[in-house]
Structure 1
Amino acid sequence: MTSSSSGTSTVLERERSTLRYPQARVIVLDDDINTFEHVVECLCKIVPGMNADRAWALARRIDGEGAAEVWCGPLEQAELYHQLLGAQGLTMAPVERC
């Protein structure tokens, strides 16, 4: 097999792109089932870096506003925290990408 070339060549440059790992929000909804104490206990036990003062503030926000974002970060971790909080009986909004 033979090929003929006109003597010119095309150079393709690689395009670099950096993809960020998807981020997501974990949102707890207000309900008439869970007590403040239970919400605070669950948040402190499951959400990394959560302390009692912040958990109480979030519980009050959940009660007063109907919902509160309790964690935001990588999607995979958000799905885990969402599942664990839901398994404790908290009412959860769907995981929301941010």
Structure 2
Amino acid sequence: MPDNVVNASGYIRFIKCKIQPILSDSEILAICAKIESGRLKPSIKTHREHVRHVTTIVEEKQRPADVNSCPKCGKPMMLKTARRGPNQGKQFWGCSGFPRCKMFSQKL
């Protein structure tokens, strides 16, 4: 594996193997200040909005996927016919979001 490719258990080891500083202390402080300036003021209102947002995301992920929707982007799948290559003329289910989404399923 290349040095910059890690799996889930290799993050800490990868980070610790880096000893050359990439950012100066002043750059780190400037980045932290920028992040802080963009944060919302902690309040009951922002907390409720955050909880509502997270709940919506969880509900969407738990909702059973429509059989005819793309598992990658959620757009409808369409029955398409291969125009070239070894499978020319054969049909397959492809995402209607192609070429942005290149998901396809088993050929028929």
Taking structure 2 as the reference length, the TM-score comes to 0.18
Specify which structure has the bigger relative contact order, considering alpha-carbon pairs within 8 angstroms and separated by 6 or more residues: 1
Taking structure 1 as the reference length, the TM-score comes to 0.19
Pick the structure with more strand per residue.
1
